[in-house]
Each structure stands twice: as structure tokens, then as C-alpha cells.
A and B are shown apart, each in its own frame.
Chain A
């Protein structure tokens, strides 16, 4: 087992953070710091500056020097810390995804960071920073070993070959953002709220104070989204789906097959005319959410077919809620609720303006719940919830009571019979017809 160190650029990058923090605190203290600085003579100032840089430089160097990582047959081991030692052993067969991210600054210097998604840990383990080539090679090796290849083979295989499935053109992404009501709502809110505050409080300062967080939200919903979803590519390789995206910060994510808990198809009101959809994912222990930011329905379904093999999405027939009872329990919006069942998946739909269809494979169902409040019982309807491992719950709302009670038992039965045929955690170890 050979222990390796991170890229030598790391200490520089690590030292930057505390230096920037010091500068930030000084700037915030403003005039007090300025007065204090004025009291010092020029050589003393220089000495202070050199001292600060030296202290943090040494900190950065030591933290780099004492960080090692190693890949064994079953684990990735990260050893770090000078005073407080920490050793993390990450089991490769529990690895949900390995992402390579290249923030703007790191891109300029040719390094990348590796994020490891494991179920149950809030704090994601990162290897920051590695050389770009090294990061890609390590990622390939980790995924190959997680898939069950022998170690020598895993190194030899290197980056698995990939085939591009989908690419979102910048123009299409821009049009989709213009057509989404959420963006317009954020914009309208961002413009109206400060004026409203100004009018109420008649103080321009209060307006500015509300404007700043609003601007942040508007930025995230419009330009920020455009920047992260720019040049979105979905490719297929034996170790899973590859997602590449971002204009300034390039991210390179992998979704291993069989780890997807829920697929959500989002159809905003204005997209429905041109039959465009957005596809979101829930993978246990992973932060990745979007699979396809925008695509035609046929293209999106083709990508989903790779994530949920053997599921015929176009063949799902949705049945709505019974109108006699439902209209009194959830007025107007009851029409949006619908449910479809197939031998592979449980699919529930909700929403009228922005229609969302959530699809859970039966094999991913952790528990099934039936709930019914007094008002719903009087109207003869009930809800069925399906809990998945990604801390998500998919709810089929407003089903006829008898149907819901039957659904509870059928769903539980489907979930354990379907699980028996699910693929193993090390997905390359068994003959697999889909791969």
C-alpha cells in the first residue's frame, strides 16, 4: 500500500484562506485597524506582514506534509492532522459518487479537488488538491475498484471509455431560464421588495439592506444557474453516468448505476408547450441534484432509461385523484395529483403550474406509510407515503381510501420481491444484461 501526498500547490492554497480571513477581519475593523497600523513604523509593519505570511505558510506546509492518502483493495484511507490526528477509512463498496471539481482558481493552476460521497456523512471527505491528471486517474481507479475490478486491472483500465448521451446547448439553457416562472418571480421579488421596504420605512438604507440578500437570490436563480449548468454534458460509461458542467467552475460528477433513489421530472408551465423537461435525481449521500437541466422529453427519457434500466416511462398511465372527495380536501390543486404503478416503479405526480413527477424504483423503498386525517376520512380519501434512502419521501396524495389501504400492502410486497432481484452493491461483480 503506497501512501501518496496531495499536490504541492495545496499549501499555497491552504495558506490563502487564513491570510484572506485576516485581511477580511482587518478590513471589517476598519478605522481601528487603520489607527493601529498608523502607530507602527514602516519596518515594523513589514515585519508583521512577513510574520503573518510565514505563520500561515508554515501552517499550510505542515497541513500538506501531514496529509496522506492511500487506496487499498477495499478502502480509501485519508490520514491527516498534526495536532489532532484524523484517519478516515472510506469503504469503496459504499461509495455513492466521486466528483472532480475544478474551481476557477484551481483551473488556472491546473489542479482539481476530489469529493467522495458516502451515505450517512454530512461532512463530505475531500482530497484537495490533486493534479488534474492525477485526480481523473484516481477517480477512475476508485470507481473501478468500487465496481469490483481487481486492483491491477483497476489501474490498467484507467478512465473507462465514455459515450456522450446528451449535450445542452447554451442557447437552449438560456431560453429555458427565460421561460421559467421561478426566475421571473425571483426577479420581480428582487425589484419590488426593496421599493416596498423603502416606501414602508422611508429609509433608503433599509432598502439597500433588503436589496443585498435579494440580489444574491436573484443571482443564484438566474446567472448563477446559467453558469453552473452551462455546457451540460451527460455521458455514459461502464462506471456510471458522467456529468460535466460549469462555465467558470468545471465539475465532473459520476452517478454509479443502481444508486439512484428517486428521479424527479419537472415540467414548468411555460416549458410544456415545447415539451421540455428538467430531470433531477436523489442519490443517497450525494449532493448532486440535477441530471439534465433542460431537454426535450424524448431525450430526457432516453437518459433516464440509463439510470433506471428497464423502466418504460412513456408507458406509465397516470390515474388522477377521485374528484368527488378530493376537491373538498385540496381545492383547485387536487387535479394535479396522480399516481402510476408499473412492475418496476412507483410514480407520483403533483403540481398544476409546475408539474413534478417523482419516480421511485420499488427496490429502493425503505418503508411505506398510510396516513389519513379526519377531514380526508370524511371525504373517503387517504395519502400513501413511500420513504427512500436519500431522506426523501414520495407521496401519492388523495387516493380513494380503499385503494390506498390496498396500495400500502401491495407496495410493501412489491418492495421486497423487487429487492431480491436488485443488482449488488459491487455492480460489476455479477453478469448484468444492461451494462
Chain B
């Protein structure tokens, strides 16, 4: 068994998220923005005056902004499996990096909601004895999520330690 990555292992092998999550989020955003834009436009157009219907365009602008933000956020998500721990990095403005040693994992869960399933996605969540540990990888391809789950569970068992 490897003894561990002591200090400098160099750059870890980062893996980004597959495109599914980006598509899912952008589809949802487009759907809701279009709905709100039409609703606002119709409501104001009918109740106040036709010119006011243009306010609905506000939602379209918000949608474009959100489109860009979602893209940036999606690009920021990445994870790396190292010899002894899992590294997750995310966030554009509020950056966060989490390291969870394999031996500390209590439970690895793969979840997939109805919308996620429609887009062929699954999320992976790691739990340690600390509730504050926030180690989640959303939007993985189910096969990859399952591979990761099995690997992490096996590694966790091999290196397990008490509390």
C-alpha cells in the first residue's frame, strides 16, 4: 500500500465535470426565465398598458447573466483522486477547496433526482464524522459516480481509522 503523499506530489490530476450538469442548469434557467418573462409581460401588458410589457425583458437580461454565471461556476468545479485523499475544488468568487482523507469517510452516497436522471446525471456525497465536511460532487455521469463510490468505499475500508 502507498504510504501517502507527503508534501509535494506536484499538481494533482484534476478532473472537471461532464457537460450534462451545464446543460441541465442552463435548460432549467432558460425555462424559468422564459416563463417569468412571458408572465410578467402578459400581466403588465394587459393590466397597465402594452408599453409596460417590455419590462418582461428584464427576465431575459437576468437569464443571459445567469447563463454566463452558470458557465463559470460549472468550469470551477473539479476533483482529484490522490493517493490518500480526495480533493474537491469549486467556486468562482467564493472559492472553496476540500480535502477528505479516504480513511475518514464514514459513508459514500450516490443520489440522483428525477430531473438529474432525465439528463443522465448523478451526484456523489461523502460523509465523515464531522457534520461540517461539505464534500459533494454534483453532475457526474452515473457510471463514473458508481466507479468513484466503489473506489472510495474500498479505499476508505483499507485505510479506515477510528474517531
Contact = CB atoms under 8 A, between A and B. Distances in A.
A-B interaction: yes
B101 A412 contact: yes
B133 interface: yes
Interface stretch (B55-63, B92-100, B137-145): B92-100
A391 B94 contact: no
B51 interface: no
Contact of B4 (A119, A363, A367, A416): A416
Nearest to A393: B132
Given A119-B129, A389-B129, A391-B131, A368 B99 contact: yes
Interface in B95-127: 95-101, 103-104
Given A284-B163, A366-B129, A366-B130, A413 B7 contact: yes
A366 B128 contact: yes
B39 interface: no
B86 to A, nearest CB: 9
B70 to A, nearest CB: 18
A422 B161 CA distance: 9
B134 to A, nearest CB: 7
B162 interface: yes
Contact of B100 (A367, A377, A405): A367
Contact of A412 (B99, B159, B163): B99
A367 B99 contact: yes
B132 A385 contact: yes
B99 A408 contact: yes
A392 B159 CA distance: 23
A388 interface: yes
B5 to A, nearest CB: 6
A367 B104 CA distance: 8
A339 B84 CA distance: 25
A416 to B, nearest CB: 5
Contacts of B5: 413
B94 A424 contact: no
A367 B96 contact: no
Contact of B130 (A367, A377, A405, A424): A367
Nearest to A371: B96
A312 interface: no
Most chain B beta carbons < 10 A, residue from A261, A368, A374, A408 = A368
Contact of B96 (A369, A374, A393): A369
A410 B163 contact: no
Nearest to B163: A389
B97 A408 contact: yes
A323 B85 CA distance: 33
A387 interface: yes
A367 B98 contact: yes
A364 B103 CA distance: 12
Nearest to B96: A371
Nearest to A369: B98
B29 interface: no
A417 B6 contact: yes
B64 interface: no
B129 A416 contact: no
A119 B129 CA distance: 9
A30 interface: no
A284 B161 contact: no
Interface string A347-358: 000000000000
Contact of A368 (B4, B98, B131): B98
B104 A424 contact: no
A119 B130 CA distance: 11
B7 A410 contact: yes
A371 B95 contact: yes
Contacts of B94: 371-374
Nearest to A96: B163
Contact of A422 (B129, B133, B162): B162
A56 interface: no
Contact of A415 (B6, B101, B133, B162): B101
Contacts of A195: none
Nearest to B88: A369
B135 interface: yes
Contacts of A272: none
A386 to B, nearest CB: 9
A413 B132 CA distance: 20
Interface in B1-52: 4-7
Contacts of B97: 369-371, 405, 408
Interface in A244-298: 259, 261, 284
A409 interface: yes
Contacts of A363: 161
A412 B98 CA distance: 10
A413 B128 contact: no
Contact of A409 (B96, B99, B103, B161): B99
Given A405-B97, A408-B97, 19 more contacts: A364-B163, A365-B101, A366-B129, A367-B100, A367-B130, A367-B133, A368-B99, A369-B99, A370-B95, A370-B97, A371-B94, A371-B97, A382-B95, A409-B7, A412-B84, A413-B6, A416-B4, A420-B161, A422-B161
11 contacts: A119-B129, A261-B163, A367-B98, A367-B99, A369-B134, A374-B93, A392-B130, A411-B99, A412-B101, A417-B4, A422-B161
Interface of B: 4-7, 84-85, 93-101, 103-104, 128-135, 159, 161-163
